[in-house]
Amino acid sequence: MIDCIPSDATTWTIVHRVAFHETDAMGIVHHSNYLRYCENARVAWLETHDKSYSEWIGTGLHFAVTHAELDYRRPARFDDRLEVTTWLEWVRGASLAMAYTIVCRSEILVTGRTEHASINDEGKVRRIPREDRLRLSASALAAHAPDRQREDALPSRTRPSRSGSLRAHPPAPTSVPARHRDGRG
């Protein structure tokens, strides 16, 4: 296993053969294609470890990408066979995060991650149903998974932070004095 993949990750790997049309004038894979490879791996991961994306859509739930980051180390070229591995980092009330490695001939070309909001058919944020969230949580990385019982028992103004630790959001101020840019009241 590639050393940047956590040992407790529930992974799935797809193999993709680079087509000529995926390369640019320099003969390397255009950077935008790596996100497509990650998406294909994410859909395959869901189908293998949970349920197909079509089944999620059938329940009126979609996972919209809210954040994507890729770190490019080396380029892929025409006819390369890429191994795209993905795993679930964490799942929360209405979001989840996936991580990826793209490898060719045992060399890491790209690492990345995406975050997704759970939305309904109208594009509004919707909580992932508790039973689905708990099922997905069983495949999430232990280090990133917030305590499910505590999360569900928390008042609405307390939520896990990005790091997974719990914090209370401060109450909104009832009145805020107006200030000029120079600090005068």
Q: Which residues partner with 72 through β-bridges?
A: 110
Q: Element (H or E) spanning 86, and its range?
A: strand 81-91
Q: Which residues partner with 29 through β-bridges?
A: 23
Active site residue 147: no
Given the residues 8, 24, 121, 152, the one annotated as active site: 24
Contact 128, 118 (CB under 8 A): yes
Q: How far is CA 103 from the centre of its chain?
A: 19
Closest CA to 32 of 77, 70, 65, 64: 70
Contact 86, 20 (CB under 8 A): no
DSSP 112-149: EEEEEEEE-TTS-B-PPPHHHHHHHHTTS-TTT---HH
Active site residues: 24
